[in-house]
A = this chain, B = another copy of it.
């Protein structure tokens, strides 16, 4: 039932007359997103391979001392292509092939940085509480087969690759982490960034598998801009976005796996608020399809890009594999920051003190009574 609406935006397009639609889009999305003119070959390849391809652009004012810093990011959302009882290695290989296919089209569209969905090499099974076979999908972030696969891809396509996987950390007793591996367009491993906040929500208690990340809030300075990765549930924590931004992130990816009944009303709000509050671009990605033998419903896709000025692209489909290409001039971040001044007016000293007080076991809140 809930899956019936292919996307909010196409529904609005279909029913609202053009004059009012422009106003609706201005109020809802900060204006009409500029459509990118994507290569015909890419559009037909996407159609042939059965995934949606959309492209939108964000501009910025021309400056005198900085050239425009135009970058194209690609967000990929996908179903798992094989049944979850297929052999692990076969499932991983099929996912590698599917992503290779989509990244090929991203390369045709001039994408410079691509990000895949959370734990992209596996079914999102962390609500089952079962260990085998799911933990067999875990890999070394540094030299696992998926990292090697991504390094090849990055080099071949001259593309920065953000690859969120289930990490097996042999250095520390073989424990698991939920980790994004970041690979330079040279093919070099840049580093990794672990999920900072772990959900304990109903069946989605992922602390059965891994704990809060210990890599802090690293940002990765790439040839195409400074990026960070806020994995899934970290989306709900404004301070998590803030620290990536304070470290210098201009684009924050948010690879996710979240289902309709739980979070769909939150989805358009949180990452977009983070783009506004932190004067940066945010890129929430959600998978499509279902959870392994679980009644929870389906992942609702709807990946989108939000800009620092509060505008955003429409979302990808709620039900279909897709590639969203967003072109952005990163100069917009500082331009919006200089206009709104949230960092300058943020009073972080005060909050550092207040938070330090607030976490004390015998903290006395500031309550005024009659």
Contacts and interface: CB of A to CB of B under 8 A. Distances in A.
Interface of A: 2, 4-5, 8, 11-12, 15-17, 20, 23-24, 26-31, 182, 184, 186, 188, 190-191, 196-202, 212, 216-222, 226, 233, 236-239, 242-243, 246-248, 263-266, 268-270, 272-273, 276-277, 309-311, 339-342, 344-349, 351-356, 358-359, 365-370
B345 A200 contact: yes
Contact of A26 (B12, B265, B276, B341): B265
A286 B344 CA distance: 24
Contacts of A197: 345-347
Contact of A8 (B28, B222, B369, B370): B28
A367 B248 contact: yes
A184 B188 CA distance: 63
A309 B212 CA distance: 24
Nearest to A25: B265
Nearest to A236: B342
A358 to B, nearest CB: 5
Contact of A265 (B12, B29, B198, B368): B29
Q: How many subunits of this chain does the assembly comprise?
A: 2
A366 to B, nearest CB: 5
Contact of A220 (B12, B188, B351, B368): B368
A242 B242 CA distance: 13
Contact of A236 (B24, B30, B277): B277
A256 to B, nearest CB: 15
A267 to B, nearest CB: 8
Given A196-B347, A354-B217, A368-B220, A265 B27 contact: yes
Contact of A15 (B16, B188, B272, B353): B16
Contacts of A221: 367-370
Contacts of A202: 339
Given A11-B20, A30-B266, A239-B348, 5 more contacts: A197-B345, A199-B345, A219-B368, A239-B239, A352-B352
Contact of A264 (B27, B239, B276): B27
28 contacts: A2-B23, A5-B23, A5-B24, A15-B15, A26-B265, A29-B265, A197-B346, A198-B345, A201-B340, A212-B345, A217-B354, A218-B368, A219-B365, A219-B367, A219-B368, A221-B367, A221-B369, A221-B370, A233-B345, A236-B276, A236-B277, A246-B365, A269-B310, A270-B273, A348-B358, A352-B353, A352-B355, A356-B356
A117 to B, nearest CB: 20
A47 B270 CA distance: 37
Contacts of A356: 349, 352-353, 356
Given A346-B237, A365-B246, A28 B218 contact: no
Contact of A2 (B26, B248, B311, B341): B26
Contacts of A5: 20, 23-24, 27
